[in-house]
Structure 1
Amino acid sequence: MNQDQVKEQLLRLEEDVEDFFVIFSGKTSKKVNGLYYPNTHEIILHNKNFQNDNQLIYTAIHEFAHHVHATRSPLPVGPKPHTIEFRRILHELLAKAEELEIYQNIFRSNPDFIALTHRIRTRYLSAGGQLMKEFGQVLIEAQQLCDRHHARFEDYVQRTLCLETQTANSMIRMHAYDVRPEVGYENMKIVASIGDPDRRDEAQQAFAEGKSRDAVRAILRTGSSEEPDPATQLQKERRRIERTIASLQSKLEDLDRRLELISPAR
């Protein structure tokens, strides 16, 4: 697969994007498989790193996700580009690439990976989730016992069980909301943090469909699967920057006053 063929495949995933360039470095790299330069819209692939086209196209999709993210974000992408939004874009592109048979997901096609994934999900994710859910039920008993003896539940959790109160409350909600243990403990925490029953069901369904944590978080962050309004985002960012500037200016003025008090008269 050459540079033009890689670009052609990427455009099958998302054609309505600003133009970009795919460049094979012709080298190997021990640090990275690829790079994206947002100023020039260049996707650099260290093509000598790959043993086959499937590995090559995966890295190309990863860097292409950076391009989509950088060119569509209403706010400037910061120095740490692997954000929740970036990963959401990447996962959507990979899913589409699998559907179009541009990329083969070895985790879903290789028998060894399939067997291992089944073992992890059943023995550890689901079983661990069920255990934490039952733990939540026991913590409710502890809460009731504290109430009966007029003791502080937070004190019992923090000093006797040596747990964070937030962790204990999260497990209590897992039991109270009857969160599905098969999604795994970490994902159960996300579901249990949602107060609205409809949105909670939406999150559980998304996990059941195989959506990533980042995809679920993105849906919950906006309140729906629709894209947030760019103008609203820019206004919020402007207000945030203005507050930061005002706070820093106030701190600077305070430092100047303190310096005047301790500095010797000239």
Structure 2
Amino acid sequence: MNQDHVKKQLLAIEDAPLDFTLLFSGKKSKRVNGLYKPDTREILIHNRNFDQDGAGDNLLLYTAIHEYAHHLHACARGGTLSAKAHTAEFWAILHDLLEKAEAKKIYKNVFDGSKELAELTETIRKKYLKENGSLVKDLGMQLLKAHDLCIEAGGRWEDYIDRVLRIPRAAANLAIRMHQYNLNPETGADNMRFLAGIKNEEKREEAQASLIKGKSPDMVKIAAREKPVDEDPRERLEKEKQRLERTIASLNKRLKEVEEELEYT
């Protein structure tokens, strides 16, 4: 597998709005398997990190897809990336690319190839994720009962949560919403907390269905976000200008204070 072949495979998964270069370094690296340089739109793969066999080729391709996701993320942002590269948006792009690559038989899903791992995965899903989700959902039902009993006793619900149960109110309210929304425990407690935060019933049900179908949490979270209203480019730049001016003014003020302190030190 050479660098030209890998680039061709990436473009077969999904075309890129902006061209990019993919290079094999011909070296080993203990730090990373690959990296992406947004300034030059260059993907660098440390190909000596991978064995020259089928498994090695698959791992190399995963690294290439990972770095390609950075490129597509940069393309969506006008060719730049923020200081934090591994955002939810990035992971959603990566997971979407991996799904497409698997569907096109370009990348092999190795997790399905191990019988032992598949059996363990099923155990984790049923015994831990689902049961944990069911417990938190049942907790919500019990907390609702406790709420009514607190009112009958003439006590404050918040005081009961704070000083008797000693759990965060936000966690208690989330558990209650999990019960009220009748969320599916198969998604797991963590995903149920995310779903409980979606107020729109239709979007909440769509998000839950996507999780059950196998979409990653980041893919679902990005899809569930409100689409931003198109903003006039001039208005956007004006707002950025104002933010920069405020930042500069704040820094100049602090610089003056430091200079004055230095005079008397």
TM-score range, shorter chain: 0.7 to 0.9
**CA contact 1:24–1:47 (8 Å) conserved in 2:** yes
**Distance (Å, rounded) in 2 between the aligned partners of 1:248 and 1:140:** 51
CA shift for structure 1 position 255:
9.5
Instruction: Give the letter for the 1:17 counterpart.
Output: P
Q: Which runs of 5+ in 1 are unaligned?
A: none
- Look up the SS of the partner of 2:179 in the other structure: helix
**Distance (Å, rounded) in 2 between the aligned partners of 1:159 and 1:251:** 44
**Distance (Å, rounded) in 1 between the aligned partners of 2:202 and 2:150:** 32
Aligned to 1:10: 10
**Distance (Å, rounded) in 2 between the aligned partners of 1:255 and 1:152:** 50
**Distance (Å, rounded) in 2 between the aligned partners of 1:62 and 1:142:** 48
Aligned to 1:183: 187
**Distance (Å, rounded) in 2 between the aligned partners of 1:62 and 1:25:** 17
1:67-111 CA distance string (max 9 Å, x none)? 111122148421111011111110110000000111111112321
Aligned residue among 98, 101, 114 for 1:97 = 101
**Distance (Å, rounded) in 2 between the aligned partners of 1:36 and 1:230:** 29
**CA contact 1:27–1:48 (8 Å) conserved in 2:** yes
Aligned to 1:77: 81
**Distance (Å, rounded) in 2 between the aligned partners of 1:150 and 1:254:** 53
> Structure 1's 237 and 168: CA in aligned 2 closer, same or farther, altered over 3 A?
farther
Q: Is the aligned partner of 1:222 residue 2:213?
A: no
**Distance (Å, rounded) in 1 between the aligned partners of 2:251 and 2:41:** 39
Task: Name the stretch that deviates more: 155-164 or 213-222.
Answer: 155-164
> Structure 1's 37 and 170: CA in aligned 2 closer, same or farther, altered over 3 A?
same
Name the TM-score, length of structure 2 as normaliser: 0.87
> How does 1:160-175 map onto structure 2 within 5 Å?
160-175=164-179
- Look up the SS of the partner of 1:222 in the other structure: coil
**Distance (Å, rounded) in 2 between the aligned partners of 1:161 and 1:76:** 48
1:211-254 CA distance string (max 9 Å, x none)? 1111111111135xxxx566469956863673574377369659
Percent identity for Structure 1 against Structure 2:
43
Q: Is the aligned partner of 1:49 residue 2:54?
A: no
**CA contact 1:106–1:113 (8 Å) conserved in 2:** no
Q: What RMSD over aligned residues (CA atoms) do the two structures have, in Å?
A: 2.8
**Distance (Å, rounded) in 1 between the aligned partners of 2:133 and 2:234:** 39
**Distance (Å, rounded) in 1 between the aligned partners of 2:146 and 2:168:** 15
Task: Name the stretch that deviates more: 231-240 or 187-196.
Answer: 231-240
> How does 1:1-266 map onto structure 2 within 5 Å?
1-51=1-51, 52-74=56-78, 76-222=80-226, 231=231, 239=239, 242-243=242-243, 245-246=245-246, 249=249
> Structure 1's 106 and 212: CA in aligned 2 closer, same or farther, altered over 3 A?
same
**Distance (Å, rounded) in 2 between the aligned partners of 1:263 and 1:37:** 40
**CA contact 2:38–2:79 (8 Å) conserved in 1:** no
How many pairs are equivalent? Answer: 260
**CA contact 1:45–1:59 (8 Å) conserved in 2:** yes
> Structure 1's 74 and 3: CA in aligned 2 closer, same or farther, altered over 3 A?
closer
**CA contact 1:74–1:234 (8 Å) conserved in 2:** no
Q: Which runs of 5+ in 2 are unaligned?
A: none
> Structure 1's 77 and 185: CA in aligned 2 closer, same or farther, altered over 3 A?
same
Instruction: Give the letter for the 1:135 counterpart.
Output: L
**CA contact 2:3–2:22 (8 Å) conserved in 1:** yes
**Distance (Å, rounded) in 2 between the aligned partners of 1:33 and 1:143:** 53
1:197-222 CA distance string (max 9 Å, x none)? 11111111111111111111111113
Name the TM-score, length of structure 1 as normaliser: 0.87
1:137-178 CA distance string (max 9 Å, x none)? 111111111222232212221222221111100000000110
